[in-house]
Amino acid sequence: MTCSHVRTLGVLILLAVGSGCGAAKTQPLFARSLAELVPHNDRDHFVFLVERPTPNGFRPAALQVEHVTKLPEGNDYEVALSEDGMATGRVILRDDGTTLWLVAEEDYTRGLRLSYEPPLPYLSVPLFAGESRATSSADLRQLGTNQAAGRLPVVQVTRAHAEPAGQWFAGAYAGGVRLEVQRTYQSPDGPMQLSSTTILVPGIGEVRSEGAASGSPVMRRQLACATVGNRRIGDCRNLLERFR
Stretch among 7-16, 167-176, 218-227 having the lowest mean pLDDT: 7-16
Q: pTM value?
A: 0.85
Give pLDDT tens digits for 4-34. Answer: 333 433 333 333 333 334 434 568 999 889 9
Measured between alpha carbons, how far is 170 from 235 in angstroms, rounded to an integer?
7
Alpha helices, H only, the chain: 34-37, 239-243
* E-only strand ranges, 86-214: 86-95, 99-107, 112-124, 130-142, 148-163, 166-168, 171-173, 176-187, 190-201, 205-213
Q: Which residues of 56-88 are buried (b: 16+ CB within 10 A; e: fewer)?
A: eeeebbbbbbbbbeeeeeeebbbbbbbbeeeeb
Measured between alpha carbons, how far is 68 from 88 in angstroms, rounded to an integer?
14
SS3 243: helix
Residues 6+ apart with CB under 8 A from 196: 6, 9, 13, 15, 179, 180, 181, 209, 210, 211, 212
Amino acid occupying residue 73: E
Mean pLDDT to the nearest integer, 195-204: 95
Q: Is the pLDDT of residue 196 over 50?
A: yes
Mean pLDDT to the nearest integer, 164-188: 91
SS3 95: strand
Give pLDDT tens digits for 112-155. Answer: 999 999 999 988 999 999 999 999 999 999 999 999 999 999 99
What is the per-residue pLDDT for 16? 32
Cβ(130)–Cβ(160) below 8 Å:
yes
